[in-house]
Amino acid sequence: PETVARLVERLENIIQFESEMWVLHSLFRSSNVNQQTVITDIMQNGLSLLSSNNQQISPVRYARNSIFISYRRADSADIVGRMYDRLSAYFGKETIFRDVQTINAGEDFQQRILSAVNECHVMLAIIGTEWMNVLDKETDQPRLHDPDDYVRREIAAALKRTDSVVVPVLVRGARMPDDQDLPDDLKELHFRNALQVRTDPDFEEDLKRLMNAIEITVRVP
């Protein structure tokens, strides 16, 4: 069970970053929902829980595999590992899909990934400085421009969905790729609101912003 202090922290974080969540949450934007009404409900529900005499509340639950981490190992494996540790500690390991942590030995790698893409509520597209430049060892061409590139396929599949959110996450000072530099099926990624995760001393602060920006999307009602 969660303590009241934990609930207070969640409420403060959600309200503090509500503007970012609103930008990211396409389901809210596409419906006739008033932003202020959502924030008021968050505050009222939280205050109602705080005013009760019961000092223990039910824990927040998150959908299984609801957060998909898309990344290139040659570009960002180390920082993704650190992000995974923090995200899984906050949301629970069963909530996060990351290839090396989630796919069992003997499973069809590509099929499992595409299945997870179709299950997720949020895809974090991790973009480092070499994300576009990693070369295929056989063709010596950028992997991103290969239609069979697994990173391209998983992001393209997520962008086609209307019931999930794709969040570009820029790491190591990377910039958002220009749309003209992206394959046709990824051009929409350029227009998605991106968040930044820097290295220390800013890592924890940036990751906290990211976690609270996506929390409302992956929470189980």
Find out whether 93 and 43 touch, Cβ atoms under 8 Å.
no
Q: How far apart are CA 60 and CA 146, in angstroms?
A: 40
Render pLDDT for 174-198 as a digit per residue (tens, 0 to 9).
999 999 999 999 999 999 999 999 9
Closest of 151, 181, 174, 170 to residue 72, by C-alpha: 151
| 201: helix, strand or coil | coil
Q: What angle do CA 200, 144, 97 make, to 5 degrees?
A: 55
What does pTM read for this prediction?
A: 0.73
Render pLDDT for 100-154 as a digit per residue (tens, 0 to 9).
656 666 666 778 888 889 999 999 999 999 999 999 988 999 999 999 999 999 9
Rg (CA), the chain: 18
DSSP 105-121: TTS-HHHHHHHHHHH-S
Find out whether 127 and 177 touch, Cβ atoms under 8 Å.
yes
Q: How far apart are CA 111 and CA 191, in angstroms?
A: 28
Find out whether 67 and 87 touch, Cβ atoms under 8 Å.
yes
In this predicted structure, what is the pLDDT of residue 129?
97
Min mean pLDDT across 1-10, 16-25, 56-65 is at: 16-25
Find out whether 169 and 194 touch, Cβ atoms under 8 Å.
yes
Backbone CA torsion sign across 78, 129, 195, 31: negative
